[in-house]
Amino acid sequence: MTLLKWIVTYGCKFGLHVVYRIDAREMKKIPMTGPLISFTNHSGLVEAPLLYCELAPREKVTGLSKIENFDKPFLNFVFKQWEIIAVRRGEADMEAMRACIDKLKAGYILGMAPEGTRNKTGSLQKAQGGIALLALHSGAPIIPVAHWGGINLKKNLKRLKRTPFDIRVGRLFRLDARGQRITREVRQEMADEMMYQLALLLPEEFRGAYSDLSLATTRWLNFGES
């Protein structure tokens, strides 16, 4: 890790721990080496840098951010240190897809939010199918990382109170097409199965579109079975 990257990472981590009371004990479940897709719920602006910082001192970590964020000087500076990949939302951004696959081949952990856009209530929204396509093309293992508490930050800051922020990590798995043709419908089924794994980690009130766990299937998920 370069000195500048170290300063940015641990400076951000210190600042986040000032305003949050973070329970990150389960982050130790995340492998420290090798390629990995980590997917999470997207309910705020700070959970991505928070999760990134909690993975330190692991060096090969990156993620995705909408390209508009790179127009902001501070974010542009931080994202360059963290090798964040810019993505154009609302279109099939093949340049970003290739960049993600290259990073995974190089042994990076890649953070993603399948919802695609921020949910402001903390409740899960329907996932987009792009994450399934990336997982299939890369062959990388996948791990769900759920969090909650961040939506209370503004309210607690006004009261000069630290905000509890809980992180839970699920089971590692891979997507397995089982020899089936990968249609748009199949990609969506895969993404939905992944999101149910995320919902299992969340308190009931935050499961949103994936609240009914009786609908959860694992047809496309391989947890290590032969």
Q: Which residues contact 60 (CB under 8 A, 6 or more apart)?
A: 103, 106, 107, 108, 109
79-120 pLDDT tens trace: 999 999 999 877 778 899 999 999 999 999 999 999 988 887
pLDDT at 225 over 70: no
Going from N- to C-terminal start, the domains of the chain cover 3-222
Which H or E element spans position 169? strand 163-169
User: Which 8-state DSSP code applies to residue 173?
Assistant: B
pLDDT digits (tens, 9 = 90+) for 43-67: 877 888 999 999 999 889 999 988 9
Per residue in 9-33, pLDDT tens?
999 999 999 999 999 999 999 998 8
- Which two tokens mark 104? 């995974």
In 74-151, beta strands by DSSP E:
85-87, 109-112, 142-148
Asked if residue 138 has pLDDT above 70, the reply is yes
Report, as an integer, the average pLDDT of 164-193: 95
What pLDDT, on the 0 to 100 scale, is given for residue 36?
A: 97
- State in words which class domain 3-222 has: alpha beta
**Residue 38, pLDDT score:** 96
Nearest in space to 148 (alpha carbons), one of 163, 128, 130: 163
